[in-house]
Amino acid sequence: MALDPLTAGISLVETAISRIWPDKSAAEQMQIAAAVQAVQAQMDVNKVEAAHPSVFVSGWRPAIGWICGAAFAWNWVGLPIAKMGLAIAGISLELSPASMAEMMPVLLGMLGLSGLRSFEKSHGVAAK
């Protein structure tokens, strides 16, 4: 079946455009698929680590959580109380808060992992 000249011309222009400016969505889809695969692989490793009976393998996440919790407690509870106590005692000492710029990426990562853990618990697939 022969195409009419107008349809053939449009088809030729579309082919030329797609060769000059290729569709980026296919490449983006491949990048997204690769990223998802990498995240899934890391999640599989995380599950194996978390199930390990040794605290030195499975306990690092809780340790990081407690350290972040202690740093937050220092910033908003301990530091103001310590400064007030030092001021009442008449002691001049400069106390610094923990660095939020360094702590927030760690904390947000931990909260993301906690969210996944809560999701697992709510669906009954969490390890006992």
Angle, helices 100-122/60-73, rounded to nearest 10 degrees: 130
- Residue 81 — pLDDT band, cuts 50, 70, 90? very high
User: How confident is the model over 24-67, as pLDDT tens digits?
Assistant: 777 778 888 888 888 888 788 777 777 777 766 667 677 777 88
Cα–Cα dist 100/104, whole Å: 6
Q: How many CB atoms lie within 10 A of CB 68?
A: 19
User: How confident is the model over 1-22, as pLDDT tens digits?
Assistant: 556 777 777 787 888 777 777 7
Cα–Cα dist 108/113, whole Å: 9
Q: List the chain domain ranges.
A: 48-128
What token pair was written down for 31?
């990048």
